[in-house]
């Protein structure tokens, strides 16, 4: 059976939420964060991650995005939770909607190389984010990821 034409769906004003995956990578008690280059939340720190591609597992998407955005590789320990990015315009219409599955992982290799998507990377103490602008759901996800990592050690 022949496949149909490829359909491109805009991430602005979508018909349904996009599924994404992110990853909290821990090394020596610190977690890797990247400043976002694009909306939503440009210049704000978050976990590496992005949209899940067709046929890709959530875990595979998290690891792929980590490698693409930072050059770091990691070993997933467990699912850490989820968050939603829901952005509405002035009229109340949904402009963006992402459901993000997040994983906790141990660092394997790579120091972290800034990329077009994450131009600034930092390894930080997850309990000390006060000097960094962070995405709204990040503190809760990091707390859950810290618990998962703590139980795995």
144-153: per-residue pLDDT in tens?
999 999 876 6
38-59: per-residue pLDDT in tens?
766 678 999 999 999 999 999 9
The CATH number for 104's domain is: 3.90.79.10
Q: Taking Cα atoms as reference points, which of 47, 49, 46 lies closest to residue 59?
A: 49
Residue 22 lies in a domain: yes
pLDDT of residue 14: 80
Number of domains in the chain: 1
Burial of 90 (0-12, 13-18, 19+ CB in 10 A): exposed
pLDDT of residue 9: 65
pLDDT of residue 4: 46
pLDDT of residue 131: 86
pLDDT of residue 67: 97
Enumerate residue ranges in the chain where pLDDT < 70: 1-9, 39-41, 152-153
Residue 1 lies in a domain: no
Cβ atoms of residues 76 and 49 within 8 Å: no
Residues in a beta bridge with 26: 31, 106
Instruction: Find the domain containing 107 and state its range.
Output: 18-152
Residue 8 lies in a domain: no
């Amino acid at each position: 059976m022949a496949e149909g034409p490829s359909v491109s769906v805009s991430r602005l004003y979508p018909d349904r939420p996009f599924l994404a995956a992110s990853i909290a990578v821990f090394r020596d008690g610190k977690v890797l964060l990247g400043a976002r280059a694009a909306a939503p939340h440009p210049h704000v720190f978050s976990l590496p991650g992005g949209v899940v591609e067709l046929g890709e597992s959530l875990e595979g998407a998290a690891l792929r995005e980590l490698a693409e955005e930072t050059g770091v590789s990691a070993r997933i320990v467990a699912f850490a939770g989820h968050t939603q990015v829901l952005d509405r315009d002035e009229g109340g219409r949904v402009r963006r909607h992402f459901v993000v599955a997040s994983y906790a992982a141990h660092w394997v290799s790579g120091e972290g190389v800034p990329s077009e998507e994450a131009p600034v990377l930092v390894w930080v103490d997850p309990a000390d984010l006060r000097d960094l602008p962070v995405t709204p759901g990040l503190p809760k996800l990091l707390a859950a990821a810290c618990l998962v990592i703590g139980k795995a050690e």
